[in-house]
Structure formats: C-alpha cells, structure tokens
C-alpha cells in the first residue's frame, strides 16, 4: 500500500515537471546551492540565461527520496526539460561541453544565450 505522503510527493513532482519548461531538482536553491554538483548545474543554466524552476530537495526527506524514485536515478541534481529527464551533473556537464545541451534546448524550444554556451565551451576546451 502506498502511503499518502509518497503519493502527494509524486504528484507534486509530476506537476512541477509537466508545468515548467525546465526544472532542476537540487540541493538548495539556484541562488543558494547547498552542494557543488547542484551549484555547477544551476550555474550553467544561470550563465546560459535559461529560465528554470529550482526545487530544493533538502526541504523534505520525502521529496529527496521521491525525486529519486520518480526518475529511477540515484542522485541529485536532476534536470528536466519539457517533461523529459535529462540527467545529473556529469551528464549536463558533458552535454554542455559537447553542444548537446544547446541542441536539446533548440529542439525543445527553450530560450538560452548561445554566446554564453559557446563561452563555456571555449573556457573549458
């Protein structure tokens, strides 16, 4: 039997993912990340000028476990774009450096600063 809290958390996660173009489930917030991995992904999105919803998984143990169950992915941060789970810190870093993240944003119609994305690649090339 599923308990009510778990059901509510899953419903809230689903609503966030479906109702926002870009969602980052992270430790802390975009303005105050609480771990290096969350800080890196939020930093990339902020630098690229992507509008995104940040969800602080440290706000609730149910949410922290719930997002892992929702995606079947064991770690946080987790990035969702237009309802699709994209990945965690390592995947987002690789996609940023390869240009795959730009392509995904283009494909999904997400606005971002192409020059900023290029500067990230130049600085890390």
pLDDT, tens digit, 9 for 90 and up, residues 31-85: 999 999 999 999 999 999 999 999 999 999 999 999 999 999 999 999 999 999 9
For residue 3, pLDDT beyond 90: no
Output the CATH code of domain 4-123. Answer: 3.40.30.10
pLDDT of residue 1: 41
For residue 7, pLDDT beyond 90: no
pTM score, two decimals? Answer: 0.94
pLDDT of residue 56: 98
CB 87 within 8 A of CB 79: yes
Q: Output the six-digit token pair for 97.
A: 């450096």
pLDDT of residue 4: 62
Q: What are the sequence ranges of the domains in the chain?
A: 4-123
35 in a labelled binding site = yes
Write the burial class of residue 123 (CB in 10 Å: 0-12 exposed, 13-18 middle, 19+ buried): exposed
Write the burial class of residue 3 (CB in 10 Å: 0-12 exposed, 13-18 middle, 19+ buried): exposed
């Amino acid at each position: 039997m599923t308990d009510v809290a778990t059901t509510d958390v899953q419903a809230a996660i689903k609503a966030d993912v479906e109702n926002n173009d870009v969602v980052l489930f992270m430790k802390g917030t975009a303005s105050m990340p609480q771990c290096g991995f969350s800080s890196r992904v939020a930093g990339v999105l902020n630098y690229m000028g992507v509008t995104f919803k940040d969800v602080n998984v440290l706000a609730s143990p149910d949410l922290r476990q719930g997002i892992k169950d929702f995606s079947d992915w064991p770690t946080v941060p987790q990035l969702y774009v237009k309802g699709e789970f994209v990945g965690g810190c390592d995947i987002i870093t690789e996609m940023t450096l390869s240009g795959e993240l730009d392509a995904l944003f283009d494909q999904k119609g997400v606005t971002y600063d192409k020059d900023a994305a290029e500067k990230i690649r130049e600085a890390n090339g």
